[in-house]
Each structure stands twice: as structure tokens, then as C-alpha cells.
Amino acid sequence: MRPLVLAAAALACAVAYAPAWATSHVFLVQNSGWMEPFYTDPASQYKPLVEAVIGAATQPGDALVLASFNQGLPGAPSPRALLARTVDNKPSSAAVHAALAPLAVARKPNSNALADTDLGEAVGTAMTQALGGKPGLVWLFTNNKNSPNNDQATAQRNREFYQLIHAGAAISKAIAFPLHMPVKGERYSANGLMVYVFAVQEQGRRELDALLRSGRLAQVITEPPARLKPLDQDTVRLVPTRVENVPGVTFATLPDGRLRADVDAQATANGPAPAARITWRLENAIYPYTIAHARIAAQSALAGAVKPIGLAQREVTALAPGKAQPLASTMELPVANLPGKWSLAALRSAGSAQVLPGRIDVQLAEQRLELSQAFRQRMATLFPGDPLPDIFTPPERIQGSHATLPVEVRLQHGAGPLLAALGGLFAVLAAGAGGLIAATRGRKVLVTIEGEPRTVHTKAGAKTPLYDRAGNKVAELHTTLFGNRLADVREGAQVRLGR
């Protein structure tokens, strides 16, 4: 087995025994030649940053894998395991600090030359061998240089790294944090550091989104995350700013940004479908890209009906990251598709609101993204002369995107239909109870046999034989809910109902 595979097998131990619900983290710390000032400058905050990020990103139960990386060579595998453990209730800071403390700049085998770097190799090994093809998060701490000697393979490695991120199906989401970290060593100096986070598979993406929402990482890294992937989802955000209510419909914006429509079922039952005029704030949510141009369309999916939304303008131009532009629209509510007042759902929710989930879909076509000038300048300052910012160039195949705004329709039904239904139910139950009583109650029936009146005790459904004075059967008395009758009367017998 090759040394690189042996090292990767050691990395996989913690991942293999992590609980199913936990997040698997692989932290890759670069220690190749260009990283020399980050290790030799006494004021360097490189290792303290790594420790702080690990402490913020992991929680009890997570699998924590820490490894150094440069470029794998025979006799010098990369990545190299430093720590592999399952995070428990005790802080991991001491173990992480002890693992990082002796880490120094790597050299090539049997040489004083500083080690080269292969970013793609490090990330690929973390995904395929450390994570074993399972979901998780791969963290990369790097100065963005792929070779200390700028050899002919550097450009090729950069392209491979670009393809791994943008074209690789395994990485579902990728973000980066360019950080200001000036350091000066004996050989080199640097102004900045890049922290990448790669979410592997859809579960990894959900885990990364949850981590970002928690705010734990933002307590360590205050810079906004720069998105690398995906660039075709959630590129814009819709925020309602003004809503003109229509008869029978009242709109409100919920604290989480969703739009809620309260519909009075009685007011909209007989009239035309109400159309609300809504003004939105269309925000660019894809930092650090400017939406240079895109054609925009929108539709609503409410109560099982998909309807186009009329927009006052059909194009977005020069929308910088974090900026917004107003967007007026007209949205028709599909009243005909809403449950009627006699539906089971309406009866169940009588006296309260029946909640119908929906959404508004926004599509951007012919989309053209450009890296914002402010971000370009920041990257040029942090990484002067570095070609790797090309990784932020959007792939040509991405010419469209979509975003979704959840909408909640609350249908208000009065209690009248429910009361009427309950009244009808009680009437049926009362009739049934009366019938049951009538069926089980005993009856007295007067019959006359050979001129002698007799009283027969019977009940509904009974067939009672009748006899003369000699004990011969002369007839049968059949009793129902609706009356009595004589059956099987013997020929010549003198028998009748009543006197």
C-alpha cells in the first residue's frame, strides 16, 4: 500500500466511528514552502486561527480530522494525519494545539528544498479517503499558491483545482474567506490567507448552511463568505416592502422574511380572483459577484395552482453584491383552487385559519456574473500576482439561476358551515336513536281469534304464532317498525287484527 493511502487510512478513523447524525470535518493545514512566513514570523496568527476555527466549527459528536498538506511525493505522503478523534463534551483546543505546535514548513525528501503544493490533491484525498466518499466538510487553510517555484505544472494544478470545485459533482457548496494576515519570514512575506470550506454531498451542504446560520463561525471570521458554488441557486433575495391589500385579502411579512396572505373565504367566494400589487426589494445575494445582466421572471405556486407574476421590469443590470433594486409586481391569488367551505379541510379548521403552504419562484435567464471590483481589489491586495483568484470566475455554462420565497396562505373560514354540519349530524344521530328505541321497545297488539279478543306481547321484527282454543296454529303475527300484519292464515280460520 502506498504511503499516501496509509496516511489517508489514518485520517478516516474518526470519521468511521462518528455518530450518524454528526458532522465529519477534515481540516487541511498547508505547510509547503510558500507558507514559510506563516510559521517563522513570531507574530503569525496562522495556528491560532486554525485552532479558533476548529473550536467554532465542531460540536460534541462530530468527527474531527486534522492534517497537514503540501505535495505528496514518494517517501513524503500528503496529506499527513496530525489528529483524528471524535469531539466529546470536553474542549478539543488542547488536543488541537498540541497537534499543531510542532508543525513546521515541510521540505522535499532527501533535500533542503522547500516542499511544493497541490491543493487539488489535498482536497481530493480528503473527500475520497478521509471521508471515504461520505458527506462532510473539508476545510482548507492556504495562502493560495500552488507551487513555491512557479514551475510549469502550476497553471495545470490551478486548472485542476478549479475543475474539482466547479465541475466536480461531489462538492455541493464551496465558500471562501479571504483574510488579512500580514507575515514576514526569512525567505518570503505574505499579506493574506484564504480559508476554504467545501461541503461534500447534499448532506454536507445542509450541515454547512446550518453552521453559517448558527453564527458560531462568524464569531471567529467576521468577513462575509465569498461563494464559489453554487452560482445558479439563490442568487437573489425577495423582500416585500409594500403591499396593497385587496378586498378579502390581507398581506403581512413574517419575521423570517416569508410572505403571508390572510384570505377571507366568504369575501372571495363569489368575486373575481383578487390580484395583489406588491413592491419587492430585489437583493443580490451572491457575494462577491455583480449581476451584470439577467432577464427575470417569476411565478407563484399556491394551493396547487401555478400562475405567472406580472413584473414591472424584466431585466436586472449592474446589481452589485448586497445591493438591491425595487421591483413592482402583480400577483393573482388562485381563489378557485382554495378548499370550499364545505370541504373536510375547511370543517376541520372552522373558527381558525387553514394554512396552505406555497412559494414564489424567481428565475434569472441569460445571467451574466462578474466579480465585483471591490473584491478584485481586495484579492489583489491580499494575494498580489496570484492567478488563483481565477477560481472565482463563473463557469460559462452557468447562465441562469433561481431563488424561492416561501409563502403562507391562511384561509379564514367562519364557524357557520361547521355548526350546520354538526346540527345535521345531531339530527341523524337523534333519528337513529329514535329508531333504535322503537325497534327494541315491546308492543301490545290486539287480535281476535274465533270471536275471542286477545292481547299479544311482541316487538318489531318478531314473528309470533297465533293458536285457537284447541291449540291449533291459525296464523302468524308479523311486527315491523311500521305496523303489524297477519301471515300464514289457516284456511277457514277466524282471525283478525283488532276487535
**DSSP states of 245-272:** -BTTEEEEE-TTS-EEEEEEHHHHSSSP
DSSP classification of residue 116: -
Confidence of residue 408 (pLDDT cuts 50, 70, 90): confident
| Dist. CA 125–CA 80, nearest whole Å | 11
pLDDT at 227: 94
Looking up cell 447562465, which residue turns up?
399
Please check whether residues 259 and 317 belong to one and the same domain.
yes
The type of residue at 82 is L
* Contact predicate 362/285, CB 8 Å: no
Q: How many domains does the chain have?
A: 3
Closest CA to 24 of 135, 187, 154, 168: 135
Closest CA to 86 of 21, 8, 134: 21
Please check whether residues 180 and 270 belong to one and the same domain.
no
The reply to whether 266 falls in a domain is yes
pLDDT at 269: 52
pLDDT at 4: 39
Please check whether residues 267 and 313 belong to one and the same domain.
yes
Please check whether residues 373 and 456 belong to one and the same domain.
no
Q: What does pLDDT average to over the chain?
A: 81
Please check whether residues 210 and 274 belong to one and the same domain.
no
Please check whether residues 349 and 452 belong to one and the same domain.
no
Angle at the Cα of 119 from the Cα atoms of 390 and 41, rounded to 5 degrees: 95
The reply to whether 429 falls in a domain is no
My answer on whether omega of the bond before 357 falls inside 30° of 0, hence cis, is no
| pLDDT higher than threshold 60 for residue 330 | yes
* Contact predicate 404/301, CB 8 Å: no
203: Cα within 13 Å, side-chain hemisphere: 11
| pLDDT higher than threshold 60 for residue 485 | yes
* Contact predicate 478/459, CB 8 Å: no
Strands (E) located in 285-346? 289-302, 305-308, 310-311, 315-319, 324-332
Coil, strand or helix: which one is 18? coil
The reply to whether 434 falls in a domain is no
| Dist. CA 378–CA 223, nearest whole Å | 12
Phi first, then psi: give them for residue 431, nearest 5 degrees.
Answer: -65, -40
The reply to whether 394 falls in a domain is yes
Looking up cell 466538510, which residue turns up?
137
| pLDDT higher than threshold 60 for residue 251 | yes
Closest CA to 180 of 14, 370, 378: 378
Please check whether residues 298 and 216 belong to one and the same domain.
no
* Contact predicate 254/357, CB 8 Å: no
Domain boundary among 365, 384, 418: 418
Please check whether residues 260 and 133 belong to one and the same domain.
no
Confidence of residue 49 (pLDDT cuts 50, 70, 90): very high
Residue 324's domain spans which residues? 236-418
Q: For residue 449, what are the CA distances in angstroms to 189, 446, 454, 476? A: 128, 10, 7, 12
Please check whether residues 378 and 454 belong to one and the same domain.
no
Domain boundary among 229, 248, 274: 229
The reply to whether 304 falls in a domain is yes
Mean pLDDT of 157-177: 88
Q: For 462-481, how does the pLDDT look when each residue is reduced to its tens digit (9 = 90+)? A: 888 888 887 788 788 887 76
| pLDDT higher than threshold 80 for residue 451 | no
Phi first, then psi: give them for residue 471, nearest 5 degrees.
Answer: 90, 10
| Dist. CA 105–CA 107, nearest whole Å | 7
* Contact predicate 31/173, CB 8 Å: no
Q: For 338-375, how does the pLDDT look when each residue is reduced to its tens digit (9 = 90+)? A: 554 544 444 454 445 667 778 888 899 999 999 998 99
pLDDT at 35: 93
Please check whether residues 384 and 445 belong to one and the same domain.
no
Please check whether residues 271 and 403 belong to one and the same domain.
yes
Domain boundary among 209, 229, 249: 229
